[in-house]
Amino acid sequence: MTTVSIYNRFNRPRKRDGDEFARESKGFLKCHGGNGISISAPLAAHARRVSLHLALMEECRNNGKIDLLGVFCHGWKTGLQTGHSIASAGEIADTLCEVCTTDVRIFFAACSAGVAFLPRLHELMQHRGMSPNIWGHTTSGHTTRNPNIIRLSEFEPEELSDAYKRIVKRALDTSTDLRFRIPLADSMSQLVDWAEV
């Protein structure tokens, strides 16, 4: 399995957010193996998109198509810190379709991106013949310990009920690797089963 993690390593003034993204990316790679790609947050949005595209193309050339992808950066309802917005979602969809396997599993540890941006990205990837399994957050919260998760697959979007959010939240602490295994789950019920163990 070819695994890649994309992360923002730059801290905002008086914040340690870049350190947190790098740490969680490292944990994801420790759990699955693979390589990390750092995005250059200080660059303009277009330059970040081009830089990420080139880095993913290089990764694919060197190691084959990506089966498992983790993205650790800031997110918003309408976009990602990678420089992608709903308006430019087609660019990242094209790149991911080129460098990933048809049934790629992706975890976007990016606040709120699961509200509008990820559903649009998922739709665009499906229109390009892919069957991605995309996980992301629907609210702001900790990079990997936010239990407000959505799963986008070939079926209707899945979200956790409030009761299950409490179960999953307890399991997303640093004593387990569940937070890094999220994209391996085939359904929300499987994620809950893993959390209850």
What is residue 41's predicted lDDT score, i.e. its pLDDT?
Answer: 64
Helices (H) and strands (E) in the chain, counts: 7, 9
pTM comes to 0.93
CA atoms within 13 A on the CB side of 26: 7
What is residue 116's predicted lDDT score, i.e. its pLDDT?
Answer: 96
pLDDT tens digits along 63-93: 999 999 999 999 999 999 988 999 999 999 9
Yes or no: domain 3-196 corresponds to CATH 3.90.830? no
In sequence order, the 6+-apart residues with CB closer than 8 A to the CB of 51 are 39, 40, 43
Beta-bridge partner residues of 51: none
Q: How far is CA 37 from the centre of its chain?
A: 13
Q: How open is the CA angle 10-11-12, to the nearest 5 degrees?
A: 120
The one-letter code for the residue type at 7 is Y
The one-letter code for the residue type at 113 is A
pLDDT of the chain, 197 residues: tens digit per residue: 899 999 988 887 888 888 999 999 999 999 999 989 887 666 788 888 888 899 999 999 999 999 999 999 999 999 999 889 999 999 999 999 999 999 999 999 999 999 999 999 999 999 999 999 999 999 998 889 899 999 998 878 899 888 888 888 888 887 889 999 999 999 999 999 999 87
**Radius of gyration over alpha carbons of the chain, in Å?**
15
Q: What gap in Å lies between CA 23 and CA 188, rounded to an integer?
A: 25
In sequence order, the 6+-apart residues with CB closer than 8 A to the CB of 145 are 169, 172, 173, 179
162 burial type by CB count under 10 A (0-12 exposed, 13-18 middle, 19+ buried)? exposed
What is residue 40's predicted lDDT score, i.e. its pLDDT?
Answer: 67
Main-chain phi, psi angles of 103, to 5 degrees? -105, 35
Structural domain boundaries of the chain?
3-196
Q: What gap in Å lies between CA 51 and CA 127, rounded to an integer?
A: 25
Main-chain phi, psi angles of 38, to 5 degrees? -90, 130
